[in-house]
Chains A and B, each alone.
Chain A
Amino acid sequence: MDLINAVIVLLNYTIIPALTYGSQLALGAIFVTLIYGILRFANFATGDMMSFGTMFAVLLTYYFQSIGINFGFLPTALLTIPFAIFMMILYMLLIDQTVFKYYRIKKSPPVMLAMVSVGVMFVTQAIIRIIIGPTDRRFLDGEKFILKATEFKEMTGLAEGLTIKSTQMITIVVTIIVVAIMFWFLNKTKTGTSMRAYSDNEDLALLSGIDPKKVVLITWIIAGILATIGGILYGLDKSYRPFVYFNNMLPIFAAAIVGGIGNPYGAFFGGYVIAFAEIFLTYAYKRFLVYILPESLEPNSLMQLLSTDYKFAISFSILVIVLIFRPSGIFEGKRI
């Protein structure tokens, strides 16, 4: 019985939150990695692009609520996803045409493009703040919990409760669906294959008749879908605040590089590596150990490896370690 309780504690406080957070990071990391693999630059506007898509979801959710549309027990925000994605893709294509295209055609070095993306970051941040303001916004409605701790305790008669928030479930399910479709697209369709070819060897791909304009267009469209969905899922689970989204760029970068930048599978995996490391290293294991250790060995401190203040620092440290020992990432990077 104690063992089951211990497992439930771990599941409740570490594994489920880590899976959720990891999914959100993974979507962002695939976005970063696609841009890096195909357009060949580190996009410093990542966080703000995700924020841009989410902003439309928030505004539309408020609008839908005001005219009385809802999605039953699911959050209304899910209904707004297609519209938000549409706006996001429009914005991305606009930015690409007005800003990035010039440098792509000129074949500027990647650093130049990264610097340009800093400019895009500033502009996007300004637009977001002018439209929606910098405040914290919650836009979750519908059922909050799938499983409440008290219900779980009654059901099973265990001492520990298991809580599953609906946003956690939605995040994991949506991520699996989106990522599955994306991998299917990249691996099985002709367009996906041409994208991989373009990423592997641009000159060869051009020789064999692949249209670079189409590849770039499709890349931005996929990037828009990933960025918007990732942003909305994060916003539903926590809350929407432009500054937080900007900061999330850093763990997302860490995830993409840890997995091997340019490699979507690596990015997907890297998101979970970062999330699990952050949560496992900052979790206070006292409650868990109380169940599995004999009474004489019970710990009296919190048994926390690092204080939760260092959550972000952990993911960055992992990144630094990976960069030193295996700069190409856990999976071989720069392939798509």
Chain B
Amino acid sequence: MRNYLNIIIAYSIMMLLIILVGIFQSWSIALTIFNYCMISAVMTLGANIQWGYAGLINFGIMGYTALGGLAVVLVSVAPVPEAWSVGGVNMMTCLGIIILMIFSTRYILKNIQKSNKRNYLIAGIIIVGLILIKIIAGPAIEQIEAVDPAKTGFLGGLGLPVLFSWIVGGLFAAGLAFVVGKVALGLRADYLAIATLLIAEIVVSIIKHEDWLARGVKNVIGLKRPAPYEIDLQTSPWFINLVEKFHSAKLDLANSFSERQDILNQLVIDASSVYVKLCFAGMFLVVVIILLIITQKALYSPWGRMMRAIRDNEEAASAMGKNVVKQHLFIFILGSAIVGIAGAMMVTNDGLFTPGSYRPMRYTFVIWVMVIVGGTGNNFGAILGGFVVWFLWVEAAPIALFFINLFTAHLPETNEIKIHLINSAPYFRFLLVGIGLLLIMRFRPQGIIPEKIIKQ
């Protein structure tokens, strides 16, 4: 029990902070922060598997998050029949060509010996394939994008339940990770970081600019939700009764019936948004707990010990007969799949898919700060890192504003420096997170909750 004391203390402080936000700002904000904390925690778990268990540095988290988000659109949005009828056949043909290209390349790689002839053959297949795709897809894309461009202009999805997309998001990310891993995992650590970052940028730029796929920067809004909508809640009698019962003391204070009704309406509106967020929080919590159990089990299994051995001494592990390359690829895929699930969760939570918002700052570097701050190699630490850093990231602006007002209280309202500082309050989040990272790396490089190795 003593071993877990610091974890319990750290988590309690975190929960207390969120409750304080609920009391001083509003419960809706507190729950929004809590939900995002949990999404961040899932991303950190994924990154921690790669970095903490295996020492692989993946700066491409942004790309996997975006793919997870894309999965939500492709799975849950209703299909657009007109778009399918004008361009569906062509796009499917292209997909077929791509699959054919992959398999023929594989066949050549397997059956023809390494030579110039093989290289030319593969290059030829790729060039011919690309030209064919360009010819077939070009007009189809134009036609698809012309179908009611203000609302659709894309192929749409499959119209399946949105929760299903979380799994698909994980699979998409795993697929990308397989390709990236095959290509880049042999590289030295800092090269790998740069390569994964740039590949993620390529993925995001494709999602951004292929409008037929998911409307690109025009965004997809009004995605399905696994939770009830606020509007429905506000009109359903059981919910209103519930709110009435919950706040009966406050309602009894009202003087007249109309006043009571006004207060009740306001309370119902507030409560509906809190209720929806609670639903999401419950679902996310389930995901976090499942992932935590699995990752903890894995970490202390023979497989986890093998991964740590590989991380700490690749040559020795390899000499003991462990297949380092294969294990690296496997763990890279596993971690990326978890990040993909987080990406899908995030888009589901927002209800909209905005490819333009995927930027390396927010989706790669901040997540990495979470991993480092929380504690590499420790799943509890990773989740805590997600909570702490996201909390700071969101609450930095109000905190900065408070201090600016405190220190400039003696200055008049029209003072230029004061106005400038107040306007730039949102940017103090970069300062806070950066300094936090630097301090942790300097004075506690193993993170808030360090890795713990249990002797078995």
Contacts and interface: CB of A to CB of B under 8 A. Distances in A.
Contacts of A218: none
A118 interface: yes
A234 to B, nearest CB: 19
Contacts of B183: 320, 323-324
Interface stretch (A50-58, A109-117, A159-167): A109-117
Nearest to B427: A129
Given A111-B189, A307-B209, A317 B434 contact: no
Interface residues of B, number: 40
Given A122-B437, A246-B361, A327-B191, A320 B198 contact: yes
Contacts of B431: 122-123, 126-127, 130
Interface in A293-330: 307, 309-310, 312-313, 316-317, 319-320, 323-324, 327
Given A130-B431, A319-B198, A121 B190 contact: no
A124 B424 CA distance: 14
Contacts of B361: 125, 246
B184 A323 contact: yes
B344 interface: no
A116 B424 contact: no
B267 interface: no
Nearest to B198: A316
Contacts of B16: none
Nearest to A133: B424
B202 interface: yes
Nearest to B361: A246
Contact of B190 (A111, A125, A126): A111
B57 interface: yes
A120 interface: yes
A110 B193 CA distance: 11
A253 B191 CA distance: 10
Contact of A118 (B209, B368, B435, B442): B368
B277 interface: no
B427 A112 contact: no
B201 interface: yes
B136 interface: no
A124 B365 CA distance: 14
A42 B201 contact: no
B424 A129 contact: yes
Contact of B193 (A114, A133, A134, A254): A114
Interface string B414-427: 00000001011001
Contact of B434 (A41, A109, A126, A250): A126
A99 interface: yes
A125 B184 contact: no
Interface in B392-445: 421, 423-424, 427-431, 433-435, 437-438, 441-442, 445
Bin the interface of chain A by size: 35 or more
Contact of B433 (A42, A122, A317): A122
Nearest to B209: A309
Contacts of A250: 197-198, 201
A42 B189 CA distance: 10
A323 B206 contact: no
Contacts of B442: 99, 102
Contact of A99 (B184, B365, B428, B438): B438
A124 B361 CA distance: 13
Contact of A254 (B57, B198, B433, B438): B198
Contact of B430 (A112, A129, A313, A319): A129
Given A119-B437, A307-B209, A312-B201, A320 B368 contact: no
Interface in B183-206: 183-184, 187, 189-191, 193-195, 197-199, 201-202, 205-206
A122 B365 contact: yes
A257 interface: yes
B308 interface: no
B358 to A, nearest CB: 13
Interface string A21-45: 0000000000000000000011010
Interface in A85-136: 99, 102, 109-112, 114-116, 118-127, 129-130, 133-134
B168 interface: no
B369 interface: yes
A124 B423 CA distance: 18
Nearest to B134: A305
A323 B195 contact: yes
B372 A115 contact: yes
B455 to A, nearest CB: 26
Interface in B164-184: 183-184
B328 interface: no
Contact of B189 (A110, A246, A307): A110
A122 to B, nearest CB: 3
Given A41-B190, A111-B189, A257-B191, A317 B208 contact: no
Nearest to A261: B191
Nearest to B194: A253
Nearest to B426: A129
A331 B361 CA distance: 31
A41 B434 CA distance: 18
A134 B427 CA distance: 9
Given A111-B57, A310-B209, A313-B206, A120 B427 contact: no
Given A312-B205, A327-B187, A320 B195 contact: yes
Contacts of A114: 189-190, 193
Nearest to A132: B424
Contacts of B194: 42, 253, 257, 319
Contacts of B57: 111
A130 B422 CA distance: 10
Nearest to A111: B189
B11 to A, nearest CB: 25
A118 B365 contact: yes
A323 B191 contact: yes
A125 B430 contact: yes
Given A119-B435, A125-B427, A127-B431, 5 more contacts: A114-B189, A115-B372, A313-B202, A323-B184, A324-B184
Interface of A: 41-42, 44, 99, 102, 109-112, 114-116, 118-127, 129-130, 133-134, 246, 250, 253-254, 257, 307, 309-310, 312-313, 316-317, 319-320, 323-324, 327
22 contacts: A109-B189, A110-B189, A111-B190, A114-B190, A115-B437, A115-B441, A118-B365, A119-B435, A119-B438, A119-B441, A120-B438, A122-B369, A122-B431, A122-B435, A124-B434, A126-B429, A127-B431, A246-B361, A253-B194, A257-B194, A313-B202, A327-B187
